[in-house]
Amino acid sequence: MNMLRLSLIGNLGVDPEVGVTQKGTPIATLRVAVNHQRTDTTTGERREQTEWFRVRAMGRLVEPSQRLSKGGRVLVVGRFDIGHYQTREGEPRVSFDVWADDIVSLSTTRESVAVRTENDAGRPASSPATSRPVPPRRTLPAEDPTTGADDADEDQDLPW
């Protein structure tokens, strides 16, 4: 089976919407805007372009996804699905859907949300953005201005 996987970094256009499928499975829908700049080849002018993606999150991803909010920056990793449909006026349209495996909040809020599914073996799926916790930063002591000595030599237990 062939599958198109992708990673998106963008901003939520609206708060996540939560519903249930016909079988009663919870599902969250997120609308993610991804901005990028392009150079117009005729004028040489740089223009910002926005692409919108509909992200679907099911199962364990639904509850933590509800803590995300409009404007928040997110990383989404999942399966890409391109759909075709017609508007009520009969105009053809294309939809870009992502079925999420991982969703990570990149916003600078106090509580960061990291969501992931499990692989077939029941272990958490790996993701470069969420696979290892970041250790707390440690600062070195400042130089003592009265002696000119640096107290950093005393801190031999530093991890670096």
Largest CA-CA distance found in the chain, in angstroms, rounded: 81
Question: Which residues sit opposite 8 in a β-bridge?
Answer: 76
Query: Quick one: which of 53, 68, 52 has its CA closest to 18?
Result: 68
| 3-state SS, one letter per residue, for 14-69 | CCCEEEECCCCCEEEEEEEEEEEEEECCCCCCEEEEEEEEEEEEEHHHHHHHCCCC
* Domain ranges (residues) in the chain: 5-134
Instruction: Classify each residue of 58-80 as buried b or exposed e, where b means 16 or more C-beta atoms within 10 Å of its C-beta.
Output: eeebbebbeebeeebbbbbbbee
Q: Thinking of the domain 5-134, which architecture would CATH place it in?
A: Beta Barrel (2.40)
Distance CA 32, CA 21 (A): 21
Single pTM value for the model:
0.61
Task: Give the best-scoring range by mean pLDDT among 72-81, 103-112, 148-157.
Answer: 72-81
Distance CA 129, CA 75 (A): 8
Would you say 3 and 41 are in contact if contact means Cβ atoms under 8 Å apart? no
pLDDT digits (tens, 9 = 90+) for 83-126: 898 999 999 998 888 999 999 999 875 444 455 454 444 444 44
pLDDT on residue 40: 85
Distance CA 91, CA 134 (A): 48
pLDDT on residue 123: 45
pLDDT digits (tens, 9 = 90+) for 30-69: 999 999 898 888 888 998 999 999 999 998 899 889 899 9
